[in-house]
Structure 1
Amino acid sequence: MSVGLLALLDDVATIARGAAASLDDIGAGVAQAGAKAAGVVIDDAAVTPAYVNAFTPDRELPVIARIARGSLINKLVILLPLALVLSALLPGAITPLLMLGGLYLSYEGAEKLVEALGGQHEAEDDAPITDAAAFERQRISGAVRTDLILSAEIMAIALAEVTAEPLLERAIVLALVGVGMTALVYGTVGLIVKLDDIGLHLVRKGEQGGGAGMKALGRSLVTGTPVMLDVLARIGTAAMLWVGGGILLHGSAVLGWPLLADWQHEASHHVEAALAGFPGAALGWLVSAALAGVAGLIAGFVVVGATHGLPKLLKGGRA
């Protein structure tokens, strides 16, 4: 009896060690995949506030919640099964599909830039809203469509980090990355779009005896939030080009055309070598990101020119 019990306890201990090792592997996979997808997450967080900037304060958080729900459906219901099937049956298709997503991001970024130069977005933003419910549905639908592309990039980048792992571990890592990134992005977006309301609350508290410091902070939030949202919109455009161009460069290298990606890496390494320590590393990263952005801008301009016609867009009209 005691020998059997000891054998059973030994088996339990072996299973526990295996489970702990699996959890460690999953945790490491989630961390690594999340770090690689950080650029797309920045893009997602910077782009999304633009979709709620025309709503009344009472509708902002419900709209963000509906977009976040759509994002979870994108990641867990649509993209997760597709990613697992592709990784099992057609692993060679992952890079081309990832590059298609990168090309779309480049197109979106270039189109926003061209429309800004042509003055189109101001006219669109100033158009009167005649049907609030239809406008809300349209905005949410557009945000969820954009999120589908960004989520596909996040899931594909995460998948590329765990392709050698067992199927179940791959699924768990992708699910955790999907849920975690969605919570991070839309939690941050919710905080950003409510900063002005927080500021108004602080101003009222300050006027009711909370002190001049609280009142000043509240006013800073109220006046600074529109500026922050405008800056985030510009960062979102730049991030689309940076992330899209980076995916195209990396994908081209994987497919056997490494010249442009090699130039990008060499330029970054030269800068890092010239300036030791943190300044060199930071500037090297900026050079790499800038070159990826240039690649994304060129690719995006090509697609925009082919689909809309650059001259007409720059004059404020569509082809």
Structure 2
Amino acid sequence: MPVSGISAPHAFAATVSALRAAGCVFAEDEAGLLISEAPGPAALADWVGRRRSGEPLEYILGWTGFDGHRIAVEPGVFVPRRRTRLLVDEAVGLLQGGRFSAPRIVVDLCCGSGAVGAAIARRDPGIELHAADVDPGAVKCARRNVGPVGGRVYEGDLFAALPPGLQGRVRVLAVNAPYVPTDAIRTMPPEARLYESRTALDGGPDGLHFHRRVAAGALEWLSSDAHLLIETSEHQAEGTASVVAAAGLAVRTVHSDELDGTVVIGSAGVGNAGVGAAGPGTSLA
């Protein structure tokens, strides 16, 4: 049947063939998305050409799927990965398991597209959401995703971007800061290395530059019994946990084999700071 003026069977076979020739591993899935989203044959031809040249599918479509919803993404803005759903899962679990009085303030720091904050707000509509990023392009994109769920987005360097009135009031500080070691960027897939902003990838020599900065300033912004959650890699988890513990927070590390995700959680006002064990159903990274 025709799809956007395109003969679907013929277009699908031709698109799959073109994508396979370009080395796309999931050619069938990508072909289906391109055909269903293209407004017409000319657009489809252009989109296939862009994909064959290596441009990420998400930038061509203008969106990506994350936590069951479409998230708008624009060229250069970090594309949210599936593993980051663990950051959302843990944040929502802490919000719903705690006894926080209103307002329950959540900050999505280094927000990129705003996917994390938007996902948390969709799962828990009662929160007050704030998000921030240093990249103007990311801020513009985040406003498209965070605005519809009632959140606000600010531009600036880490905590300097946030309204001073949030100091000491944040219940959950969710952070997906850049954590790729500088020298490792050259080993990343071309879709990330060539198309995503280096600002969104480069975490300094050991990948922990921003984790140190966030941990150093977190207590000033967290309320009592609040939580800092930082996405990290399994390899870097011990370093991230040590940084967070040194800042005076009680620490545990959560890893999901299913999502291939790792999150370090630092909790304020929970006894003595230190590196703790993961909770039920999780494993230390």
Structure in which a larger fraction of residues adopt helix:
1
Q: TM-score, normalised by structure 2?
A: 0.26
Higher relative contact order (CA 8 A, sep 6+): 1
Larger Rg: 1
